[in-house]
Amino acid sequence: MVRTIYCAVLCCACFSFLFAQRYHLTDIGTGNGLRSPIGNSVNESGAVAGVEVTKGFFWDESAGMTTVNFGLSEVQVNEVNDLGTVVGWGFPDDGRRSFVWDKQNGARSIGVAEGSVGNEAAAINNLGQVAARSFMSGMPNRASLYDPLHGWSILGALDPTRSSIATDLNNSSQVTGISYIWDGQRNVEHTFLWTEANGMVDIGLPTNRHGILGSAISDAGVIVGYMDLFNFARHSFYRTPDGVITELIPFQGGSEDNLAWDVNSQMQIVGNIGVQGGPDPSGGYVWDPVQGMRNLNTSMDASGAGYWVFGAYGINDRGQICGGAIKNGQIRAVRLDPIVPEPSTLTIAGLGILVAAFRRKRSPKA
């Protein structure tokens, strides 16, 4: 029995080693006058939305790069949903405003909440709901939610005297973000989970951590982001629906920065990391419960030659990752597609591992 368990563990370890996920890089390019675009979000069709300093873009394989305009305004594009609707914000004549955009209808303002003088949209779900920060008149900023049927709602704050910001929402209308709490000396960042049933709830601040900032929430209800350490470094975290918060230790196991920006329903997390020395350079990373944290720059096939992926900012449920890379000194928006091993390769390698694991040593001849 012990031998069987040992062999099973050995097989799993060997498969993980032999078939560590690798990626194929697609260079989205710098078309339509975009000099240094970065991909912020990738939907389930593989379409990417992102930004280049003052311009937004939408890219898909059929039409390539399309500039996202909001009048003559500078724009920030943050996310695209599975219907191809992009959300962002800009500066039209009447102040800072959020908008939605699609290829058929262009950009449309979604207005402001009552008592608000402007807003910045952060995310959009497949219901067309938008998570945002609203700039209030005469009071601190507030996390807010836009619904196409019911308009804007202010979600409140953990400390009514301080600001709150919504950073993401999922297809169950759960919202996460950051709410500041005054501790008597400074504003401390706390991450919240908002639901229609329970309102805004503090997910908690782990011991010996300076702050906790939520970036994204998956359809499974997993929240990711990063925590401030007291030595000024930052570590990624994920929080499962049962309330457990787990810190992700960087490659070197030390205090280097690593920031989580997105998570999919398979618990794959992406972000960026800065490592001082050691065998793994800084850059974009992907993490999962089986293979742990891996640098994307050492996880690509030949298509990644000459590219340095400096950040991974979005991941869909197919495992496609979007972000930014540098090639020949130029910033490029990129999409990384997971490479699926050929079935024949899996079969041959699997049989070889099993034979090696279960082979018994022959008795010497008499």
Burial 229-265 (b: 16+ CB within 10 A, else e): beeebbbbbbbeeeeebeebebbeeeebbbbbbbbbe
pTM: 0.87
Q: What pLDDT sits at residue 257?
A: 82
Better-scored residue on pLDDT, 230 or 229: 229
Q: What pLDDT sits at residue 34?
A: 61
Closest-CA residue to 246 (of 295, 275, 188, 206): 206
Q: What pLDDT sits at residue 96?
A: 86
Does 351 have pLDDT greater than 60? no
For the segment 114-145, what is each residue's pLDDT rounded down to a tens digit? 999 999 999 999 999 999 999 999 999 999 99
Q: H/E element holding 226?
A: strand 223-229
- The stretch 81-89 carries a mean pLDDT of 97
Does 33 have pLDDT greater than 80? no
Does 318 have pLDDT greater than 50? yes
Residue 107 — pLDDT band, cuts 50, 70, 90? very high
Q: Where are the alpha helices (DSSP H) in the chain?
A: 2-18, 343-358
Lowest-pLDDT range, 87-91, 211-215, 252-256? Answer: 252-256
- If you count them, how many residues does the chain have? 366
Distance CA 212, CA 317 (A): 25
Which amino acid, 320?
A: Q
User: The dihedral of CA 350, 353, 355, 358: what is its sign?
Assistant: negative
Q: What pLDDT sits at residue 190?
A: 98
- Decide: 91 and 74 in contact? Cβ < 8 Å: yes
Largest pairwise CA distance in the chain: 96
Residue 358 — pLDDT band, cuts 50, 70, 90? very low
User: The dihedral of CA 185, 190, 194, 200: what is its sign?
Assistant: negative
Token representation of residue 39: 């991909």
Lowest-pLDDT range, 74-83, 247-256, 265-274, 351-360? Answer: 351-360
Token representation of residue 47: 């379409």
For the segment 173-185, what is each residue's pLDDT rounded down to a tens digit? 999 999 999 998 9
Lowest-pLDDT range, 23-37, 66-80, 106-120? Answer: 23-37
**Vertex 195, ends 194 and 196: CA angle to 5°?**
130
Residue bearing tokens 């030595």? 231
- The stretch 188-215 carries a mean pLDDT of 96
Closest-CA residue to 164 (of 197, 146, 139, 130): 139
